[in-house]
């Protein structure tokens, strides 16, 4: 017989969040959501070129949902270290047909991974429900007004620099404190722009302008972001800091990703963005089962 958690343990559970927007109603907190990555790009660091054709991308998204993804994050521009920007027209050409098909076929919400308002606008018209902006509304002055007007929730991600040069020499005095200050500033900006606080999610940007040590410290201290009162998304999947710790190429980083995801969940992540959905769903459910019996 499975023991029932005591009232004390229930009180120690992660905060419950409700995320609502046009065509969107998500609840998470004690149950971590799994965001499946769908890169329709020729040059992403791990799966570039695999799903560039619309039919391949649709099949991949359907497989991710079958494996247990709660959301699908569609991106048409690589943000790997050293990546060059992609014109908005090309990004739209890559993502919009995929989103149009998926919005009619999938039972889960779609987010658009872009920092361009023009791309986000077309993606939302095609059926995307969330804007996942690696620039935290900084790169395109039209992005915040668009999010406010459409009511789409936004993921505000921290990044030092731009993808082209972010890994050249990232430096922090205290990486978590500086990201926290950044989040406070961007939340204020978003709210002043008309974006409701309850439609904001935060991503500390693992791998975006950080050294291996910075990324490990962010995961170890992730719970400090809880003070901001917004759900935290993490994206450690297959990233180079795992490769440096384990001396492994991207294709062999499943176990390292699982460890990073488990650590992130134990320290307060509400959403994990991953390539290997089936495995990470199992990791998340196991961590949650253990977490119910943790005493603080």
Is residue 239 part of the annotated active site? The answer reads: yes
Burial class (CB in 10 A: 0-12, 13-18, 19+), 208: buried
Edge-first strand order for the sheet with 233-234 is 200-203, 154-157, 130-133, 110-113, 71-75, 33-39, 271-274, 233-234
Exactly one of 116, 122, 239, 253 is catalytic; which is it? Answer: 239
The b/e string for 120-151 (b: 16+ C-beta within 10 A; e otherwise) is: bbbbbebbbbbbbbbbbbbbbeebbebbbebb
- Cβ atoms of 294 and 15 within 8 Å: the answer is no
Exactly one of 273, 278, 285, 292 is catalytic; which is it? Answer: 273
- Cβ atoms of 151 and 199 within 8 Å: the answer is yes
Where helices occur in 82-174 by DSSP H, the ranges are 88-105, 117-126, 143-150
Place of tokens 């004390």: 8
Is residue 230 part of the annotated active site? The answer reads: no
Q: Which residues contact 262 (CB under 8 A, 6 or more apart)?
A: 283, 286, 287
- Cβ atoms of 73 and 111 within 8 Å: the answer is yes
Q: Which residues contact 186 (CB under 8 A, 6 or more apart)?
A: 136, 137, 138, 156
SS3 call for 148? helix
Structure-block tokens of residue 48: 């570039």
Sheet strands (E) in the chain = 17-21, 24-28, 33-39, 71-75, 110-113, 130-133, 154-157, 200-203, 233-234, 271-274
Catalytic residues: 239, 273
């Amino acid at each position: 017989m499975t023991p029932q958690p005591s009232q004390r343990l229930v009180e120690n559970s992660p905060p419950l969040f409700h995320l609502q927007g046009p065509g969107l109603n998500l609840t998470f907190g004690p149950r971590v959501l799994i965001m499946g990555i769908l890169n329709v790009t020729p040059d992403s660091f791990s799966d570039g070129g695999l799903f560039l054709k619309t039919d391949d991308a649709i099949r991949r998204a359907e497989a991710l949902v079958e494996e247990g993804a709660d959301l699908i994050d569609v991106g048409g521009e690589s943000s790997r270290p050293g990546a060059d920007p992609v014109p908005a027209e090309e990004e739209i050409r890559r993502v919009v047909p995929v989103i149009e098909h998926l919005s009619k076929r999938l039972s889960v919400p779609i987010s658009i991974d872009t920092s361009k308002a023009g791309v986000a606008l077309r993606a939302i018209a095609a059926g995307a429900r969330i804007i996942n902006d690696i620039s935290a509304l900084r790169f395109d002055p039209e992005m915040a007004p668009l999010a406010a007007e459409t009511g789409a929730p936004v993921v505000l991600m921290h990044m030092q620099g731009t993808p082209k040069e972010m890994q050249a020499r990232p430096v922090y005095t205290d990486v978590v404190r500086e990201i926290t200050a950044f989040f406070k500033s961007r939340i204020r900006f978003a709210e002043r722009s008309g974006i409701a606080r309850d439609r904001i999610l935060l991503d500390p940007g693992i791998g975006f302008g950080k050294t291996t040590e910075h990324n490990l410290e962010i995961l170890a201290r992730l719970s400090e972001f809880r003070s901001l009162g917004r759900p935290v998304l993490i994206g450690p999947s297959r990233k180079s800091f795992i490769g440096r710790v384990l001396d492994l190429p991207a294709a062999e980083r499943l176990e390292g990703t699982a460890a990073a995801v488990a650590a992130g969940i134990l320290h307060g992540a509400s959403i994990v963005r991953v390539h290997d959905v089936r495995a990470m769903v199992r990791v998340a459910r196991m961590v949650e089962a253990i977490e119910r019996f943790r005493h603080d």
